[in-house]
């Protein structure tokens, strides 16, 4: 096998990549239903937002602000653990270590409807605005509406990707993607490795699709250009995905995943410096994007 020449591959790291990476690898996998706040937590901490009025900016705290909905089963488990904490049987540190996936430090909203599980786009925007005190702007790019309007066409997504590469440092750019997983390459396929990714003529045929079929939030750490084709470096919320959470996904499969086919909407949440907000809004609207929170089924009630 011949490794591609250096000129064949260009890597565009998003802003503060290494600081965010440091926070990311320090975490366990996400708790049940908290993928949105999980991504927001390590991004904000990597950008220097460690606390809000003395409260640690964590997956749990952001989940409470974003009004994450969890299953009644998980809520019952968490409540029992909290009872043990109140009675002095275990500490919060022990609860986090022993019952990480189902212990929530803050009371979250409960639901018996699986469509409502997780965080809404509106909830993540609210949480980010609050804990950064609006120092970070959140611009939601809707990919596809329930009435059949497709905003994230291949042409627009290509132009958007080029714009994000160009402006990534100037805007202090971060990306959180809300997509449906089964459109992506199977990042846990036995053949999935960097060498195979570099040389595969047809990655879909080689790796197949992710067998997990679920609406999901992830972040993007970098955009890679290989022989003129764009790939997105995804940071997943589960350590057992790809390369300790990182995996590479082709441009077109990311686009299809964002459009989804499960009756719910998806999109891209851009986090940028406040001073770049007007410029970014103008650029995106000129491309024909609709800047609006999408409806992924998870409710949010502005208090």
3-state secondary structure the chain: CCCCCHHHEEEEECCCHHHHHHHHHCCCCCCCCCHHHHHHHHHHHHCCCCEECCEECCHHHHHHHCCCEEEHHHHHHHHHHHHHHHCCCCCHHHHHHHCCCCCCCCCCEEECCHHHCECCHHHHHHHHHHHCCCCEEEEEEECECCCCCECCCHHHHHHHHHHHHHHCCCCCCEEEEEEEHHHCECCCCCCCCHHHHHHCCCHHHHHCECCCCCEEEEEEEEEEEECCEEEEEEECCCCCCCECCEEEEEHHHHHHHHHCCCCCCCEEEEEEEHHHHHHHHHHHHHCCCCECCCCCCCCCCCC
Query: 149 vs 88, 100, 143, 259, 283, CA distance in Å?
Result: 54, 40, 9, 10, 20
Q: What was the pLDDT predicted at 46? A: 98
Distance CA 239, CA 69 (A): 23
List the end-to-end C-alpha distance of the chain, in Å, as a whole number: 58
Q: Backbone phi, then psi, for 137, in 5-degree steps? A: -90, 145
Give a yes or no: residue 192 inside a domain: yes
Give a yes or no: residue 75 inside a domain: no
Give a yes or no: residue 231 inside a domain: yes
Q: What was the pLDDT predicted at 137? A: 98
Query: 226 vs 130, 163, 206, CA distance in Å?
Result: 38, 17, 18
Domain of residue 198, residue span? 7-30+134-286
Q: Backbone phi, then psi, for 109, in 5-degree steps? A: -75, 145
Give a yes or no: residue 208 inside a domain: yes
The burial class, CB within 10 Å (0-12 / 13-18 / 19+), for 96 is middle
Give a yes or no: residue 262 inside a domain: yes
How many structural domains comprise the chain?
1
Residues lower than pLDDT 70 in the chain: 1-7, 303
Give a yes or no: residue 54 inside a domain: no
Question: Which residues have CB under 8 Å from 133's CB, separation 6+?
Answer: none
Q: What was the pLDDT predicted at 3? A: 45
pTM: 0.95
203-217 pLDDT per residue, tens: 999 999 999 999 999
Give a yes or no: residue 222 inside a domain: yes
From 298, 299, 294, select the one nearest 265 (Cα to Cα).
294
Give a yes or no: residue 96 inside a domain: no
Query: 224 vs 53, 54, 164, 235, 293, CA distance in Å?
Result: 38, 38, 12, 14, 27
> CB atoms < 10 A from the CB of 93, how many?
8
């Amino acid at each position: 096998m011949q490794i591609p020449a250096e000129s064949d591959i260009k890597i565009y790291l998003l802003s503060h990549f290494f600081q965010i990476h440091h926070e990311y690898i320090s975490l366990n996998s996400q708790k049940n239903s908290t993928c949105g706040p999980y991504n927001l937590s390590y991004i904000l901490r990597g950008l220097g937002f460690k606390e809000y009025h003395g409260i640690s900016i964590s997956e749990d705290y952001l989940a409470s602000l974003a009004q994450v909905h969890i299953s009644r089963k998980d809520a019952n488990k968490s409540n029992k653990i909290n009872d043990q904490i109140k009675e002095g049987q275990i500490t919060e540190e022990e609860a986090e270590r022993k019952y990480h996936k189902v212990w929530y430090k803050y009371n979250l909203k409960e639901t018996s409807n699986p469509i409502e599980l997780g965080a809404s786009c509106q909830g993540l925007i609210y949480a980010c605005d609050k804990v950064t005190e609006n120092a970070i702007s959140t611009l939601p790019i809707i990919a596809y509406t329930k009435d059949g309007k497709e905003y994230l066409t291949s042409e627009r997504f290509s132009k958007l990707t080029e714009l994000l590469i160009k402006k990534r440092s100037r805007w202090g750019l971060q990306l959180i993607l809300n997509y449906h997983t089964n459109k992506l390459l199977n990042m846990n396929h036995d053949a999935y490795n960097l060498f195979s990714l570099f040389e595969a003529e047809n990655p879909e045929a080689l790796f197949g699709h992710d067998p997990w079929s679920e609406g999901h939030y992830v972040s993007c750490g970098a955009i890679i250009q290989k022989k003129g084709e764009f790939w997105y470096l995804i940071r997943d919320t589960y350590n057992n995905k790809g390369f300790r959470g990182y995996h590479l996904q082709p441009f077109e499969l990311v686009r299809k995943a964002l459009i989804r086919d499960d009756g719910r909407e998806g999109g891209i949440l851009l986090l940028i410096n406040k001073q770049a907000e007007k410029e970014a809004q103008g650029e995106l609207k000129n491309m024909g994007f609709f800047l609006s929170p999408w409806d992924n089924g998870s409710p949010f009630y502005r208090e």
